[in-house]
Structure 1
Amino acid sequence: IIHNLEIVDVLGMGGYGQVYLGRHLETSRLYAIKSLPQTGLDLRQRNFQRTEISLHSRLSAHPHIIGLKHVIRQPGWIHVVMEYGPEGDLFSSIADKDVYFGNHDIIRKVFLQLIDAVTYCHDNHVYHRDLKPENILVFDGGHTLKLADFGLATTDPISKDYGCGSGFYFSPECQGDLAHPAHRVGYASAPNDIWSLGIVLINLAAGRNPWRQASLKDETFKAYMSDPDLLFKILPISKELHTILKRTLCVDPIRRIELDELRERIARCRYFTRTP
């Protein structure tokens, strides 16, 4: 038992700690509890934990961001009590449940929710830096999405943490391999999040990733650099969506689409998947 929560299951384990399923002893309501060990941490790890909790609590009132309910401090541990998502994450809904492929109305509805959540983060000067289906929880049979896991989030508009995030989803500038190491001055955090949203959009519409990494070491991405129409040729996406993706996955972050325009274009997009 942690405070007034009975541990009923283990939801996940990682280098950061554990996530448990807890049941409130009085209300029987279920919560996810992220338990973070405090022993053996260096200053950098402590700062990451402190940042994650403070930024998530700043944002958790938004309807499409997982609610952070409260923080319990015990000797050697910090327990973060959060809203529980019993239907799992977006990755399993795309890969295992086939909720979205060809379902244009649901894709539009949930991607607009994601844009709203990321816009709220950016309006509050928070950049997620790890947007991917595994960090998005699903509710209402796939009709509602909520953003989770602010472990890599930052308030820095210019980030110098190259390679921060997940390989499939981070932007080319985040890896820094398009610039000479001597010229690396950091990359803008907001356009990096927008690139990641573009990859999530492809996941929703096509059920797969376009490349393993947006790096010149990746043959498919290298082909995309020389052929801007490659995505339409290799993925079952509509022409409308392809036009949007060319702006969202623009290699130059200065020319990349911004969130307000992306929202307008998605709201007007009728078809996402190219069906035979």
Structure 2
Amino acid sequence: MTPTRQQPCGPTNLSRIPRAIDNGSLIIQDMLGVGAYGSVHRALDIHTGAMRAVKCLCSTGLNDQQRTFQRQEVELHARVSGHPNIATLHKVVEENDECLYMVMDCGAEGDLFYKITERGGFVGNDKAIKSIFGQIVDAVMHCHAKGVYHRDLKPENIILFGDSAKLVDFGLATTEPISTDFGCGSTFYLSPECQGGYVETAKSYDSALNDVWSLGVILINLVFGRNPWKQACTRDETFSAYVVNNDFLRTILPMSSEFNEIIKAVFCLNPRKRITLPELARRVQACHSLTTTTTVISMPSPAGVMAQAQAPLAAVSAEKA
């Protein structure tokens, strides 16, 4: 799991998770994930037989600001729920003033991070990449149209349902088009301006354009199974090389010239000149070939120097947040 900054609430006390919630209608089963935000469990709806994902948010011991963050996550997810590429928030259950339970769609395929790192991913399959990425962009465009900016776009927050993808986790989302919450999100996916700027010091950043940058990193993840850099900042040698020469990534990754132009439009250091989401979606779908080869790309060993610089996703799995 990629490290996430500024998670609003403390972890759920797992001993407080009951065997069943919602008057016994949801039977809690195995845990799907746990982190700074709380925990996510698989649950059986005894009335419909459907499997649900239940996100358990601890409300005990929170200060007023943390409670506001918690309520905001529910409110913003509900606002964008219903889109085919966003996990439906079916209901919110509160019991004993201790935990808040968000009942959502449950994907049998797991998340996109698992697909990329453990199941071979999409490397070499342009058709599948275009389909999944197009769905992700559609979800983000829907969020932006509703005035919601995700701010934590990454493969772990995209759940797979067969050939469909659904966006989850609005714990860091905001309704502010212009934000001063610097460093909010996951390190590998942060835009330079979200970290205070690269070329010039930023006093704020555009929340929508920050999401666009994160989508560019996800696109690299899909095509090559790795990150372009560990962090878009001056301390990162690979990113610094890109700043000097924005064709640099093509020298270390087998991307086509057409795809390279798309990536440069996403990773534009001036956010005001960054590609729009509709244009990004259009150009990716129209790209004749994402890579310079039609065969599956053989990636360097994570132990290699370049592999370290490019932060392979498989290596990232060891960095649990």
TM-score, reference length from structure 2: 0.82
Shift of 1:28: 2.0
Give the whole-Å Cα distance in 1 for the aligned partners of 2:216 and 2:202.
Answer: 24
Q: Deviations over 1:160-192 (max 9, x none)?
A: 110000110010000004266xx5421000110
Match for 1:78: what amino acid?
A: L
Give the whole-Å Cα distance in 1 for the aligned partners of 2:183 and 2:199.
Answer: 14
Match for 2:178: what amino acid?
A: I
Counterpart in 1 of 2:225? 207
Counterpart in 1 of 2:308? none
TM-score, reference length from structure 1: 0.95
Q: Which of 37, 55, 62 lines up with 2:58 in the alignment?
A: 37
Give the whole-Å Cα distance in 2 for the aligned partners of 1:16 and 1:230.
Answer: 36
Higher relative contact order (CA 8 A, sep 6+): 2
Counterpart in 2 of 1:127? 149
Shift of 1:132: 0.4
Counterpart in 1 of 2:319? none
Aligned length: 272
Shift of 1:274: 2.4
Contact in 2 for aligned 1:102/1:274 (Cα 8 Å): no
Give the whole-Å Cα distance in 2 for the aligned partners of 1:179 and 1:264.
Answer: 29
Counterpart in 1 of 2:29? 8
Counterpart in 2 of 1:169? 189
Q: Which runs of 5+ in 2 are unaligned?
A: 1-19, 296-321
Match for 2:252: what amino acid?
A: I
**What percentage of residue pairs aligned between the two structures are identical?**
49
Q: Deviations over 1:87-145 (max 9, x none)?
A: 111011111112310101111111111111110000111000000001101121xx211
Are 1:60 and 2:96 matched, yes or no? Answer: no
Q: Which of 264, 267, 273 lines up with 2:285 in the alignment?
A: 267
Are 1:22 and 2:40 matched, yes or no? Answer: no
Moved >6 Å (runs of 4+): none
Match for 2:91: what amino acid?
A: H
> What is the DSSP-based 3-state SS (H/G/I as helix, E as strand, rest coil) of the residue aligned with 1:31?
strand
Give the whole-Å Cα distance in 2 for the aligned partners of 1:87 and 1:22.
Answer: 16
Match for 2:186: what amino acid?
A: S
Q: Root-mean-square deviation (CA), in Å?
A: 1.3
Shift of 1:260: 1.4
Are 1:242 and 2:260 matched, yes or no? Answer: yes
Give the whole-Å Cα distance in 2 for the aligned partners of 1:99 and 1:14.
Answer: 24
Counterpart in 2 of 1:106? 128
